[in-house]
Amino acid sequence: MTKQRIRHALVSALALSVMGAPGAFAQTDAQKALAGREIRFLQPSMPQFAALGKFIPEFQEKYGIKVTVDEIPFDQYRQKSLVEMQQGTGTYDIYAVDVMWLAEYAAAGFLQPLMPYVKNPNLTDEGYDIDDFLPRVISGTGVYNDTLYTIPLGAGPVGTTFRKDVAEAAGIQMPKRFSPEFTTDFMYKAAEKVHKPESGMIGFAQMPGRWFWGVTYLPYLYAFQTPKTKGDEYVDKNWRITINNKQTIDSIDYFVKFKKFMPADSANWGIGEATAVYQSGNAFGLWNYQDFIKGFFEDPNAQKAVAGKNVHLHTPAGPHGVIDPWFGAWSFGLSKDSTKKEAAWVFIQWMTSKKIQERATEFGAGPSRHSTYKSVTLAKFQPWWVDVYEFMLKETNPDERIRVPEWAEISDIMGEEGSRVWIGEINSATAVENMQKRMSAVMRRGGYYVPGRTDLPPQHWRDLSYYDRLPSTWK
């Protein structure tokens, strides 16, 4: 009996060690042959990349491939990556790709299609299971012209974070995530109620800096749409700019109303400034991105003033009950000019494998696989993700911001004109008139209005079933 128990224990221990070991899957000969290579990876400075970075030593040890990571501040990342890509020197083998820049990178031919690598059993670990990724997440993040160019390392919505304890002290019952009770009106009134700058608590830390409008104002642009105007926020079916309308004016006015809660010197505030104020315990609420929550607000060692005291909600529903279907994601893209594509792919597939994706959630990385969403690790370390699963599966819209190579200019125009409203230089009606004219000029220069043009890009946001295809069916 004792012998049998010992035997069972040994077998169980062996099985557990094999299952739990980092190198559970045996390396193929092709992977072994890549030992000694050195690859370079360009990434922005963000919590989710920091979380994944913890696993690089383990990868290097397992595969013998050296990984050098260069990190660039988020707001300079697109510029740096595009400069590197268009030079075509292959300095970087892997680029972090934001969902908004995929069209620009892929259309220019800077990225290598990945499906041939995914389906290559010599380079991809057994059990990689591409179909484990949420369809809308992988296709929304990495597919351009029916071709898979990048693999997501995390995708999520933007939302809002509030101090639960401050709300309770003020007698405010904060709604649950995605609750229809959480409206723009509710949010403003709650901020107004707790706003006591003389006691060091501002109602809301907005991010009105010119560069940030393209991410922090947009949830309100969507929230103020009517069910009828949804989908026509920027352009109509013929790619004519439609920004000059009542919904845009109302959403800008709503966003600027929060100036009342902000210190005088805040017109240039971005994520850094607003987050710092919140982290120091001096703001009731602020904008957030799902992947930042762990690193920015819930790390008990780094954010002692606020960790554990927060409630994380979606962005509020507008006057007509519309909520922002925001889809934010970062992914790994393989450089077309890389001379070490195979080694780089081995790194990408390992970093986006089921095992690493799950383990990385402990340190703040977000999920993009079904298995990660359902894992105990995620529920334990980042419980605020659990109720996002259904939203990412069915509600989110990868084209919430129109993904065209002209987006950087469109976003900049929106930021500049919006910022001018914030500082009182112009009113919102003038701002949207200017946006209309300037965005139209950008689209005209992009060739969208060439008479007789028949190859205009498809507008997938009008039928999101395009993004719901099984991941393995992409080219």
**Is the CB of residue 116 less than 8 Å from the CB of residue 122?**
no
Q: Which of 50, 107, 307, 393 binds other proteins (CB under 8 A)?
A: 107
Q: What's the first-to-final CA gap in the chain, in angstroms?
A: 56
Which CB sits closer to other proteins, 285 or 415?
A: 415
Cβ contacts of 3-11, under 8 Å, gap ≥ 24: none
78 lies in the site for other proteins, by CB under 8 A: yes
The window from 48-56, 77-85, 89-97, 457-465 that contacts other proteins (CB under 8 A) reads 77-85
Q: Which of 17, 86, 89, 122 binds other proteins (CB under 8 A)?
A: 86
Which CB sits closer to other proteins, 59 or 110?
A: 110
The window from 9-17, 48-56, 367-375, 413-421 that contacts other proteins (CB under 8 A) reads 413-421
The window from 261-269, 306-314, 315-323, 381-389 that contacts other proteins (CB under 8 A) reads 261-269
44 lies in the site for other proteins, by CB under 8 A: no
Q: Which of 104, 298, 324, 400 binds other proteins (CB under 8 A)?
A: 104
263 lies in the site for other proteins, by CB under 8 A: yes
416 lies in the site for other proteins, by CB under 8 A: yes
182 lies in the site for other proteins, by CB under 8 A: no
The window from 144-152, 184-192, 375-383, 418-426 that contacts other proteins (CB under 8 A) reads 418-426
* Residue 433: CB minimum distance to other proteins, A: 13
The window from 101-109, 143-151, 375-383, 454-462 that contacts other proteins (CB under 8 A) reads 101-109
* Residue 167: CB minimum distance to other proteins, A: 23
91 lies in the site for other proteins, by CB under 8 A: no
180 lies in the site for other proteins, by CB under 8 A: no
Query: Residues 312 to 331: which contact other proteins by CB under 8 A?
Result: none
The window from 3-11, 13-21, 33-41, 257-265 that contacts other proteins (CB under 8 A) reads 257-265
**Is the CB of residue 74 less than 8 Å from the CB of residue 289?**
no
Q: Which of 79, 122, 226, 473 binds other proteins (CB under 8 A)?
A: 79
Q: Which of 23, 319, 405, 457 binds other proteins (CB under 8 A)?
A: 405
Identity of the residue numbered 61: E
Q: Which of 28, 268, 377, 430 binds other proteins (CB under 8 A)?
A: 268
Both tokens of residue 196? 């006591």
* Residue 75: CB minimum distance to other proteins, A: 8
Which CB sits closer to other proteins, 108 or 302?
A: 108
Q: Which of 247, 266, 335, 382 binds other proteins (CB under 8 A)?
A: 266
The window from 215-223, 258-266, 324-332, 355-363 that contacts other proteins (CB under 8 A) reads 258-266
420 lies in the site for other proteins, by CB under 8 A: yes
Compute the distance between CA of residue 297 and CA of residue 421 in angstroms, rounded to an integer. 30
Q: Tell me, residue by residue from 274 to 293, as one string, x for binding to other proteins by CB under 8 A and - for no binding.
A: --xx----------------
Sign of CA dihedral 373, 377, 379, 383: negative
Compute the distance between CA of residue 143 and CA of residue 306 in angstroms, rounded to an integer. 38
Query: Residues 110 to 169: which contact other proteins by CB under 8 A?
Result: none
Compute the distance between CA of residue 366 and CA of residue 380 in angstroms, rounded to an integer. 13
Identity of the residue numbered 179: S
423 lies in the site for other proteins, by CB under 8 A: yes
Count of residues touching other proteins (by CB under 8 A): 33
267 lies in the site for other proteins, by CB under 8 A: yes
Interface residues with other proteins (CB under 8 A) are: 78-79, 82-83, 86, 104, 107-109, 209-211, 263-269, 273, 276-277, 405, 408-409, 412, 416, 419-420, 422-423, 425, 447
